């Protein structure tokens, strides 16, 4: 069931009406849990068993952790949660990847093996809810929260349908307290939630799904195209994945707000970032913060020696890449971003030591240059990410950097137009211009703008219910 599909646009209003029809807290928890299981089971009911296993596992571990009398026992219970969760994720998502890589290694050593491919279907959203359940056990272990004894509450935290299959990754300390209180019907929540959902819907069907065919055509056979086409294709993928994923996040946040819940932001105007580390602090925020808090800091973070810090960054960002998929181009993409973060940190000291250079980079032209450079570096990385294999990724980046014009050319004006719109929109949001304009616009004109947006969506939106890009992760 996709947010932009007709089925969801029928399903959600029914859930919303039933939710506010009765104020009893237990009634609402059970209703939302059943609705969440129906929502998730609509893809494949078999996947519900994995969701239930992760739920029961971390619920039990959460109850046992505070009662463990020794640190060894606490670590053993925590290891039980982490190992089993990662084993399930690893089998369904990475089994064929590791088998294939090992066989390729053997072939490189001259040992021939018969091909082995497991018939495994990747459950939708498994990467998201696995991290979510583990965060619960990790936070209890660290003393950041007390476990809940209400299984329905915990199961709802894991399965809460607005953000179940593609995030944002919500931690128990953020969502469980909201699930434990009765929420009153408020006009503010209905208005803000509807507004946010419509924004996300427009990003998805008006921009992302219309740009997708061009991107697919370029990266289906990237070797057929020249450097300029690959640049436009990578820009197109940036537009697609941003509007698709941030659109999903908007719809998730909006749906939850209509029910009275607040989910964390997942994007914060990344195209105005002035360097790659800042770009990542604004892009897929909940994944970046999860990996930072539970992996990078656990490895020693920035407190270690410079060489160890570099290793921590590279390992964390490489695993961020691997989290996205079982392919070497994802690993290379994560490693590439880790290298950029390390390079920025190495250059930061000498730049700050030069007053002239600092003043130049802090000027308006300097700020524009820094933001443009961050965008360009991220776009190059997305070429690595989007190509079908690591060989095509490396060849595509080489052609882009050389601006090689030997292949066929295919330039899309609509892609460049939407990229410009997104850039201007990010700048406007960064300086709070859109909110100020909306605050001064009379309510009838705001409703007229929404009516015009609906007309544009009907006329120009792609309504073939394409799955969201991050469903595959």
Is residue 206 within 8 Å of 456, Cβ to Cβ? yes
Is residue 380 within 8 Å of 397, Cβ to Cβ? yes
324 catalytically annotated? yes
Q: Which of 22, 284, 324, 463 is catalytic?
A: 324
One-letter-per-residue 3-state SS of 29-92: HHHHHHHHHHHHHCCCHHHHHHHHHHHHHHHHHHHHCCCCCCHHHHHHHHHHHHHHHHHHHHHH
CB atoms within 10 A of CB 321: 23
Residues 421, 418: Cα–Cα separation, whole Å: 5
Is residue 253 within 8 Å of 265, Cβ to Cβ? yes
3-state secondary structure of 408: strand
Two structure tokens written together for 156: 């709802």
Residues 190, 432: Cα–Cα separation, whole Å: 22
3-state secondary structure of 225: strand
Residues 255, 9: Cα–Cα separation, whole Å: 11
Is residue 149 within 8 Å of 242, Cβ to Cβ? no
Two structure tokens written together for 357: 């250079």
- Which residue's entry shows tokens 């015009």? 452
Does an H or E element contain 138, and which? helix 126-141
Residues 334, 319: Cα–Cα separation, whole Å: 7
- The distance of Cα 138 from the centroid of its chain, to the nearest Å, equals 21
Residues 262, 253: Cα–Cα separation, whole Å: 7
The strand pairing partners of 225, in sequence order, are: 408
- Catalytic site positions: 324
């Amino acid at each position: 069931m996709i947010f932009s599909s007709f089925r969801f646009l029928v399903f959600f209003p029914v859930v919303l009406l039933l939710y506010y029809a009765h104020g009893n807290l237990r009634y609402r928890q059970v209703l939302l849990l059943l609705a969440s299981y129906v929502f998730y089971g609509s893809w494949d009911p078999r996947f519900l068993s994995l969701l239930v296993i992760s739920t029961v596992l971390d619920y039990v571990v959460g109850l046992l952790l505070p009662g463990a009398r020794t640190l060894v026992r606490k670590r053993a219970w925590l290891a039980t949660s982490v190992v089993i969760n990662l084993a399930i994720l690893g089998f369904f998502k990475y089994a064929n990847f590791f088998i294939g890589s090992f066989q390729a290694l053997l072939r490189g050593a001259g040992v021939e093996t018969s091909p082995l491919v497991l018939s495994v279907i990747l459950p939708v959203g498994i990467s998201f809810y696995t991290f979510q359940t583990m965060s619960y056990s990790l936070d209890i272990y660290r003393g950041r929260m007390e476990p809940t004894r209400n299984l329905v509450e915990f199961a709802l935290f894991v399965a809460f349908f607005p953000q179940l299959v593609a995030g944002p990754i919500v931690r128990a300390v953020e969502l469980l307290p909201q699930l434990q209180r009765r929420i009153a019907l408020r006009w503010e929540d209905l208005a803000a939630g509807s507004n946010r959902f419509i924004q996300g819907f427009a990003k998805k069907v008006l921009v992302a799904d219309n740009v997708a065919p061009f991107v697919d055509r370029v990266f289906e056979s990237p070797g057929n195209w020249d450097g300029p086409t690959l640049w436009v294709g990578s820009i197109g993928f940036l537009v697609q994945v941003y509007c698709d994923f941030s659109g999903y996040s908007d719809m998730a946040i909006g749906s939850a707000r209509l029910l009275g819940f607040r989910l964390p932001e997942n994007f914060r105007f990344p195209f105005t970032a002035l360097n790659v580390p800042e770009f990542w602090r604004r892009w897929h925020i909940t994944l970046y913060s999860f990996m930072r808090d539970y992996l990078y800091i656990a490895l020693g973070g920035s407190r270690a020696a410079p060489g160890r810090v570099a290793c921590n960054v590279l390992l964390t960002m490489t695993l961020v890449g691997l989290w996205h998929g079982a392919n070497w181009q994802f690993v290379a993409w994560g490693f590439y971003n880790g290298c950029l973060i390390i390079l920025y940190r190495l250059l930061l000291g000498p730049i700050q030591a030069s007053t002239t250079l600092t003043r130049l980079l802090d000027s308006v032209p300097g700020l524009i240059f820094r933001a443009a450079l961050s965008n360009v570096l991220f776009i190059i990385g997305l070429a690595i990410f989007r190509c079908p294999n690591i060989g095509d990724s490396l060849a595509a980046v080489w052609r882009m950097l050389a601006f090689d014009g030997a292949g066929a050319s295919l330039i899309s004006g609509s892609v460049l137009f939407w990229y410009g719109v997104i850039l201007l929109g990010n700048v406007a949001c960064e300086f709070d211009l859109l909110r100020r304009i909306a605050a001064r616009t009379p309510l009838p004109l705001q409703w007229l703008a929404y009516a015009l947006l609906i007309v544009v969506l009907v006329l120009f939106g792609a309504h073939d219910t394409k799955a969201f890009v991050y469903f595959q992760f």
